[in-house]
Chain A
């Protein structure tokens, strides 16, 4: 598996070159959000608003009203949690094209409870006019810019930084409202988003070898959640559905899937994996994913609960699974 170091840095500079209306607004986390080099490249389009996020949201709104496309770069918690009223009233209500690049989703940071965005998808899904996206690898970090840019309204993006795996070929960019079909099988359907997809990519082939055939979808658009690929995959599952998200199980991917299943009267069991009405704490991503049941082994155990039979799989079996970039099985022309 290829690991890309800080894919946003050069990609965003290149992408912005022919888009003079694109601005960057920051809140004292410029290098932490990988836009230090962007600032040095386009100093006249970069605005430091300091540690003052309520005001930042208003400035972004005003600039958007004047025809600019502000890309707010800060940690997710300082976008949706601290200035939620400003986000809702100054940006979302008027449907302004502000791009909210939300870093450190879920347990990706050892920064602890204050820095871990664990209920952001729930709040942003509930916010009218908001489009909600999540990046799961380097290809999506690169291609989410075009997706957000094309949306007539505000966009919230769960963003990955630092060393990011490339799970999907660069030739297959993120598409709005289109999940990636990564594996096919009729027993269970597994839906993941963000960093949990890599975990499922370890578990699903091992499950297959153990005789449990899974359909695996990677979701990058949380809202709108109207992808026919998702509904088809939910209908296909004979034994049950498992969701795995880097978020509380209330209001995020698991809830969206539950709503869809209920609305279509799909009577299959659903297991939602994620943080269970609890805050996390400061520790490594791997440690927290294991502690809170967000890892590959937790997914295997959930599938066993759904199917009612043990697979015999162990940690060692999963660790030896080699992950290569996977071409999506769902080609646009096949839908």
Chain B
């Protein structure tokens, strides 16, 4: 792993993306066990989404950031010229290249694992995860690898991405803007403000991929605040909506091939929050953050992790 910012296409990209997704899951699972807990269910639901986005859908240049992330260099401000955007891990911002805007910042561990699988981040970077002074933060901000905007206060990414997409249209750029969201975010009013603005201003160089895993911190979305049919709601707003199996790489990639038609695109990816780790299902509906309550429980998860078959 050289840190010279020109990672060659890694072995991951030569592999079937289904297998890459399993490796993302495995890497997150192993990290969560080393860490004594963490955001695991998010990897179960979104591994194929990340694999499809980085491996098939997004047109990104090579990373311009070091393989081992630099320490936190202070927050952005007029007195700090050293602030480095985590977006550099997704390559340079160029007119013909795409941009990735990552909304559910609590999925940061999954994003880091994906960057590692696609050769944009060193595997050792995960040792910096949630470590004091590190940029590999638990809930990523815009200095964290792969993160271009600060979106830990959920539902803010879609609006920022809307402004970026509008700005790119004004400049005549051809690259597109891809946004990853989670379904819980659609409870926030800001999302619907954003959808109406994207439709009103005919912003079609932006597409949202939403992980519909039916989970949020307090339990299932149906229990906490039912969001109903997102497809029907989005269509009523005038958006272009495609519903897919979120674990089917081909199904995820297909809508991105369609020619933009004046409407923002929403790909609703229905996912299983315990995909690949059925043991996690015993904790349902409390899947947001895995925290072990006994040594016995930890050992059971360790055995499941050791037995995790990335070929499956």
Given contacts A52-B193, A52-B197, A95-B76, contact A65 B153 (CB under 8 A): no
**The residue from A47, A55, A64 contacting B159, defined by CB atoms under 8 A apart:** A55
Contacts of B170 in A (CB 8 A): 66, 68
Task: Please provide the chain B residues from 151 to 173 with a CB less than 8 Å away from any CB of chain A in the complex.
Answer: 151-153, 156-168, 170-171
Q: Tell me whether A62 and B166 are in contact (CB under 8 A).
A: yes
Q: Tell me whether A59 and B150 are in contact (CB under 8 A).
A: no
Fill in one digit per residue for B140-157: 1 if any A CB lies within 8 Å of its CB, else 0.
Answer: 011000000111110011
Given contacts A55-B159, A60-B163, A65-B163, contact A86 B190 (CB under 8 A): yes
Residue A89 is within 8 A (CB to CB) of chain B in the complex = yes
**CB-nearest residue of chain B relative to A64?**
B163
Task: From A52, A58, A60, A61, name the one whose CB has the most chain B CB atoms within 10 angstroms.
Answer: A58
Q: Tell me whether B167 and A54 are in contact (CB under 8 A).
A: no
Bound-state CA distance A89–B103 (Å) is: 13
Q: Tell me whether B159 and A86 are in contact (CB under 8 A).
A: yes
Contacts of B233 in A (CB 8 A): none
Task: Please provide the chain B residues from 50 to 70 with a CB less than 8 Å away from any CB of chain A in the complex.
Answer: none
Residue A153 is within 8 A (CB to CB) of chain B in the complex = yes
Q: Tell me whether B197 and A49 are in contact (CB under 8 A).
A: yes
Q: Tell me whether B164 and A62 are in contact (CB under 8 A).
A: yes
Fill in one digit per residue for B107-144: 1 if any A CB lies within 8 Å of its CB, else 0.
Answer: 00000000000000000000000000000000001100
Q: Tell me whether A94 and B142 are in contact (CB under 8 A).
A: yes
Residue A129 is within 8 A (CB to CB) of chain B in the complex = yes
Bound-state CA distance A54–B190 (Å) is: 6
Bound-state CA distance A64–B164 (Å) is: 8
Q: Tell me whether A61 and B78 are in contact (CB under 8 A).
A: no
Contacts of B161 in A (CB 8 A): 58, 62
- 21 pairs from A and B in contact (CB 8 Å cutoff): A47-B166, A54-B190, A55-B194, A58-B162, A58-B163, A58-B190, A59-B163, A59-B197, A61-B149, A62-B162, A63-B167, A64-B163, A65-B149, A65-B167, A66-B163, A85-B153, A86-B156, A86-B159, A89-B153, A95-B77, A129-B77
What residues make up the interface of A, taking CB atoms closer than 8 Å to B? Answer: 47, 49-50, 52, 54-68, 85-86, 89-90, 93-95, 128-129, 152-153
What residues make up the interface of B, taking CB atoms closer than 8 Å to A? Answer: 75-78, 141-142, 149-153, 156-168, 170-171, 189-190, 193-194, 196-197, 200-201
